Structure 1
Amino acid sequence: MSIDDAYEVQRVLSSGPGGRTEVVAIDGFGPYLRKKIPSSLVDRRVWTALSECSSLRLPHVVATYETPDEFVVVCDFVPGDTLHEIVSARGRLPVSEAVRIALDVCEAVEELHRRGIAHCDISPRNVLVAADGAHLIDLGIARPLGTEPSSESPHFGTHGFAAPEQYGFAPVDERTDVCAMAHLLGYMLTGLEPGDAYRAVLTDESVVPAPLRAVIERGSAFEPSARFQTIRDFAHAVDEGSKGAFSQAASRVGTSSCENLGASGVIGDEDDSCNGSAASSGGRGRAKKRRTAIVAVSCIAAILTALGAISYATLPNVLGAGAAGHDGGSGNQTKGGQSSSYEVPPIDGGAPGAADESPLEEGFSESAAAFSKEDLVVVESSWHMSNGYISYVVALRNASKDAVVDYPAFSIVGRDSEGKIVSSEEQVLPRLNPGETMYFSSIAGTGTVTPRSVDFLPIAPDEYQVHRARSEGAVFRVTDVSATTDTFGEVVFVGEAIWEAGEKGEDATSDILVTVVLRDDAGEMVGGVMTLASCPERGVPVAFQTLGEDVPDYASIEAYAYAW
């Protein structure tokens, strides 16, 4: 009996002109993954290179052998579902999940490129999602970088995902796989294979955030020279684009309130009935792409107008014109990336990051909540330039003893050496409970101009945003925070968050915001990183992981979590 017959076929995964993929066992051992490739299509250099690869995201070759007509490769079997099966069952994936899978696959592709191999068939059926992340499988038509297409050895790839040069236009190289990766990311975000319907959905910012759409469009350009030139460049752009997408999502925290009124739930759409008198604010938010905006506050204002509670008015002007002294309030200004803060003492002796835990007074009306515009304070901040943008971390405090502020906001104003404004935008947060400080990290700026100084200024809330606390706000504790590096050498922070006390607001999502704050030896903030994680059950920790980032040198780590 030949070695080929010794394997017991348990399941056939795929079969076609490019070969047959099976789940097999032998002598009670297995399961294994067996790929049978027609001899005329195989390039043995690929499998030699694969056997030298160390990435856990690629198949581990157990054995190879040949039959008269086929080259056969046996690999370790990784249990999981293909990306095609997952998207077919669930529809489009959340941004965070799609980005994580894309970066896992990029790790595998970079290892192949390092060994001089182009995969040539990155597609949903060739990405396996397992418990430890995504794996890139099936190198049946992989070729050495620079291989010219030929009629004797075609490598067309999967229609819709394969780069144009695979159809005979040019040799395959790293940019061939970049093109397929861009289509793969678009597939995960839209739930559609590339085509007319896919292109229409790709331009819908309520589905695909503009920063990631720009990455997809550049990565899948027809001309290879217009794409990202390496898979590392593409992965970095995906990482940065996801941060821009997160900033956009943070500006839309009022969506759930729109949905409660039966609107489309997409803030900024032309036909969104929540826009009302706030339509111009929504339009500006769409035009800003990765910029953060005050769209959520505008949406809430329109909702309350519809309910007859208030008449909409524009937000008051930013408090003051600089860091020092605006009507007795506190502010913050940083120059050249250095941080500075104006000390705000804890309320009633409480910790700076904790909410006032004094019991609520019986019979206290919401309208009687005492709140002054000086109660919204930026207590500390820091910024530095990263890839042309302002990367910042800010601590915004509600110094009131009894008033909750819904959708508090602050502005980020960049100035040049002469004090001229070179960038200005606003960031909205979900809610600040009495005495609570929220640490928030994101990006700002134009991407083209480097400011000399950056001001972080609180925006006075309108009356409808302020009310008496109905219950104690949710309190989350973050533990076991540590730093590591990803395959691209960028810093990743991991840890756990636990819901200890209090209640989430009725309009909160099912997520929590986790912000990691970095400080130097003197205790000054030097940077920050944030991510979203699923809200834990009470008393049950939930793990979180940030995306990889280039961070400044730091001496200590703090982490905070908030209802989102």
Structure 2
Amino acid sequence: MSIDDAYEVQRVLASSPGGRTEVVTIDGLGPYLRKKIPLSLVDRQVWAALAECESPRLPHVVATYETPDEFVAVCDFVPADIISEVVAAEKRLPAFEAVRITLEICEALENLHRHGIVHCDISPRNVLLAADGAHLIDLGIARARGTEPSSEGPLLGTHGFAAPEQYGFAPVDERSDVYAAARLLGFMLTGIEPGDDYRAALLDENVVPVPLRMVIKRGNAFEPSARYQTIGAFAEEVNWAASSGDGQAGFSQDTVSCQDEKGPGARINPEVPMAAPGKNGVNLPRGRRVPIPVWIASGLLLICVVAAALPGAVNDLIMAKLSYDSMSALSTQIAEMGDKSQNDLMQTPEEDESSAQMISGNTSEGMGQNSHSSGAAAGSDGIDEVLTIVESAWFVDQTGRLRWVFALHHGGSESAVLYPTVKIVGRDAKGNVVSSNSQVLSLIEPGQTIYFGSSSENGTAIQSVDFVPVNPSKDNLVQSRENAPKFRVGSISEYVDTSDSPHFAGEVFLEGVSDAECETNQLAITVVLRDSDGKMLGGETGFTNCPRQGESSAFDILARALPSSYASVEAYACEW
């Protein structure tokens, strides 16, 4: 009798083309959890790495073996309820409980990611709720970081929870799990799996507190670069949103914690202390002190501030961009704005030599398809805060994706604009709108120019692209900072990795007055390629940590789809 036959199956938990999960015993010992995976689908590197993981919230592997057709892993069995069943019984979970479970799952994912593994299938059926908290199970389709998914493969994760790149768009990485973890949080709060009803439930402030909704929406951004870049950053924002919502929708700060390697009750990022009250009288964690306009009634509850600062229309506009399911929202409205040429609206921002560094590049052939459609947006209510697209470029790559880069300039002199937004509208040869996407930035100061490059789907039919800044409302205007940080990008170099993909690497320095510091923990770094005439050819944005005063932070941006022929490259940094 083989070892496989020695196990006695007590019950089958799940069965699919991707494998079979069973509760088993052997010689009176157990129960154990046994996972059978077809040999053609297994990634043995995942199971080797899992054996080195120390998180108690991940499966503890006690044995592995192979049959002629399958790879088999036997793990300790954890008596627990499946989250999908818990939510079905309770309709939806209180906010504090959903947050606690999310933070515990983030703890498990941080441990996986440190060992180079992406789970790829975080869903309500793969999370257990035991006496000691949440456990993440089923690594049947887990992959090493950077694995290219196959569009023809049968394993695409759980529908509604799997990140878009798992459907063959791009390699999977930590941000794929961020997407699924955000969807899981939304499911626990609403009791509804992703779909039309789910989206409607997320908008109900009595069900999902506004701070958590904002975190979920950013975590669910279609483009990975627009999400939180690590599961730790996502967990920190969930923790912050929960703390800011104390007293609303069942929040209790005493229960918003998780257990990690630092001991019971420690937060995912315990090194983030609360800051002293800011200039608006609001306490936010260090590195998360985005200025927000305040109408002070009680002056103590941050959720009141957020609700007042972001009324429904503005908030919904911001959130629409960050949702994969809402990429085409507002396209009709943008179409009615009409075309505006760059010649009519072009203005040249002051060049900041401390924010860009030029290096030599190739000069063979230029771009075959390039546009600089631009627009300007003035604030509502007669507010003289003008946002202008001063230059832009776009092209459709070999996979049919629309790739674009733009420079947004704030021409006002009084207030900074919170969450400035640019619509990227693609048109076919007849001028019909065939693609509409929004890019939301963090904050833009008077006189500042922000560069940003990314991509979107449905590029094959596009013949022209409009870049249209969205009118900032009065509620999006905040006090400008006298000590706003300035950044200097230097030591830029280009290299090609083992897969012949080009990278741009360098470092960014925080400069300016001595008390200048970042309002956020993260910087967006945008590389911009230009031809010999200085014309923008393309660009790509990556992310890095914000450096401290007098220090630097390194960055490395993959730019596989950018033009191979260019005369120079620049890099720009802004808070994110």
Task: Specify the TM-score bucket, using the shorter chain as the normaliser.
Answer: 0.3 to 0.5
TM-score calculated relative to the size of structure 1: 0.48
Q: Which structure has more RCO (C-alpha within 8 Å, separation ≥ 6)?
A: 2
